Amino acid sequence: MNNLLDRVQSTMLMGAGPSSVAPSTYHAMSQPTLGHMDPYFIRIMDELMAGLRVLFGTENTLTIPLSGTGSLGMEASFVNLVEQGDKVLILQNGVFGVRMVEVATRLGAQVTELAFEWGTPADIEEVEKALRQDSFKIVAVVMAETSTGVLNPVKEIGELLKEDTLYIVDAVTAIGGMPIEADRWGVDVCYAGSQKCLSCPPGASPITFSPRAVEAIKKRKTKVPNWYVDMTLLTEYMSGGKRVYHHTPPINMMYGLYQAVLNILEEGPAKVFERHVKAHKHWVEQLGSLGWTLLVDEPYRLPMLNALVVPEGVDESALRSTLLGERHIEISAGLGALAGKIVRVGLMGYNAKIESVDRVVSAMRQI
């Protein structure tokens, strides 16, 4: 084996994730690996879980980082709550809503998919109508749809739900980049990812379960059909007093996540969110001068994920490969139905700043 790692080029990650990692987070990840039952590691995990509660806007005891990527958070949400035949309403306006449908269907749920045009948010009146027509055990939505750059109205949807409906929200792209108020919005399960606005490498999925969701898991008639993310087992390991061995978490990944969360708390979450908005506004201004437009209408645009409509005559694939090959800047292609029609530029975490915007715009202008 030649050592290929000697030649990994540092790339400015300005796509849909992973985002560029903060130097302090790289440093944290290179600290000595401790045993997973080491009291000092347990202390780190306890503090990490407290920090995650702040970013999720929750007081839920069961708030932990799962050892896996954002999709594991999605699996864990559904696999713990869904039993065969349960009615689930999924609001779908992008690739990750489609993935939710796939995950819930595989578990034997009776899924109603309420689809909205990609690039537009879930329509609250349509949601209300669907909720009047049937009653659902679970309603699920992606807060920040990374495939389109749309912000869905999580709070407003929460207000429509009945007491006994469980509410699952995907916050993979939202966490650390915009306020999340899981408790105030009535969210029962919220999951996230490490590699977007937290500016940490991919590999951990923070997740939180409300007391109602924990109760629903306890009341299941059947065992959770997946051992790895069975919350009853993970609770005993991560947040119970007993710390019963379950699996060996990726220790250094958890150091990275710890540092990433600490970075946000030290800067101040409100300031971090404001920095994302400022970078986005600057981006929109600069974009106009390049003659590009955004896919999403202004009130529903995500600051951290900008979907740009590819102008007539521009070869978006050549643009992306020139940016990467010659300028070492990565931006992302469109996914699914939007492939070839949009490119996606992420202003996430460490790179949510004016200098980063200027560097990408200047490279795009020259190319």
Q: Is residue 146 within the footprint of ligand PLP (CB under 6 A)?
A: yes
Kindly identify the residues of this chain, within the stretch 210-269, that bind ligand PLP according to CB under 6 A: none
Given 90, 153, 161, 170, the residue binding ligand PLP (CB under 6 A): 170
Give the bridge partners for 190, in sequence order. Answer: 169, 208
Length reported for the chain: 367
* Stretch of residues binding ligand PLP (CB under 6 A), selected from 63-71, 84-92, 177-185, 294-302: 63-71
DSSP 4: G
296: tokens are 């999403």
Q: Is residue 193 within the footprint of ligand PLP (CB under 6 A)?
A: yes
The least distance separating ligand PLP from the CB of residue 92, rounded to whole angstroms, comes to: 12
In the bound state with ligand PLP, the residue whose beta carbon lies nearer, of 202 and 225, is 202
Beta strands 87-92 and 110-115 are parallel
CA torsion sign for 53, 58, 63, 69 is negative
Q: Is residue 149 within the footprint of ligand PLP (CB under 6 A)?
A: no
What is the rounded CA–CA span in Å between residue 12 and residue 139?
Answer: 37
* Stretch of residues binding ligand PLP (CB under 6 A), selected from 34-42, 75-83, 116-124, 165-173: 165-173
Given 82, 139, 172, 338, the residue binding ligand PLP (CB under 6 A): 172
In the bound state with ligand PLP, the residue whose beta carbon lies nearer, of 142 and 361, is 142
Given 15, 28, 90, 96, the residue binding ligand PLP (CB under 6 A): 96
Task: Report yes or no: 11 and 330 within 8 Å, Cβ to Cβ.
Answer: yes
The least distance separating ligand PLP from the CB of residue 193, rounded to whole angstroms, comes to: 4
Residue nearest to ligand PLP (CB): 70
Q: Where are the alpha helices (DSSP H) in the chain?
A: 23-29, 39-56, 70-81, 95-106, 124-133, 154-160, 211-218, 231-234, 251-267, 269-290, 316-327, 354-366
Query: In Å, what is the CA distance from 49 to each residue of 189, 257, 261, 350?
Result: 15, 10, 10, 21
Size of residue set near ligand PLP by CB under 6 A: 13
What are the residues binding ligand PLP (CB under 6 A)? Answer: 17, 69-71, 74, 96, 142, 146, 170, 172-173, 193, 202
